[in-house]
A and B are shown apart, each in its own frame.
Chain A
Amino acid sequence: MASVTASSVKFSSVSCLIKQNQVSNLKKASLSFTGNGSQSRRLPVLRFRITCAAKPETVKKVVDIVRKQLALPEDRDVCGESKFSVLGADSLDTVEIVMGLEEEFGICVEEESAQSISTVQEAADLIEELLEKK
Chain B
Amino acid sequence: MATKPTRREVLSLFRSLMRTAREFTDYNIREYTKRRTVDAFRHNRKLSDPAEVAAAFADGKSQLGVAKRQAVVYSLYAPSIKSVMEM
Contacts and interface: CB of A to CB of B under 8 A. Distances in A.
The judgment on whether A and B are partners is yes
Contacts of A91: 7, 11
Nearest to A111: B12
B38 to A, nearest CB: 7
Given A92-B41, A96-B18, A99-B19, 14 more contacts: A91-B7, A91-B11, A92-B11, A92-B14, A92-B42, A95-B11, A96-B38, A98-B15, A99-B15, A99-B18, A103-B22, A111-B12, A111-B15, A115-B8
A114 interface: yes
A116 B33 CA distance: 26
A91 B38 CA distance: 12
Q: Is the interface of A mostly helix, strand, loop or mixed?
A: helix
Interface of B: 7-8, 11-12, 14-15, 18-19, 22, 38, 41-42, 45
Nearest to B10: A91
The contact size tier of chain A is 10 to 19
Most chain B beta-carbon neighbours within 10 Å: one of A92, A111, A114 = A92
* The 7 A-B residue pairs with the shortest CB-CB distance in the complex, in nearest-first order: A99-B18, A95-B14, A95-B15, A92-B41, A95-B11, A91-B11, A111-B12
Interface of A: 90-92, 95-96, 98-99, 103, 111, 114-115
A107 to B, nearest CB: 13
A7 B51 CA distance: 64
Nearest to B14: A95
A99 B15 CA distance: 8
6 contacts: A92-B41, A95-B14, A98-B15, A111-B12, A114-B15, A115-B8
A91 B12 CA distance: 11
Nearest to A98: B15
Nearest to B41: A92
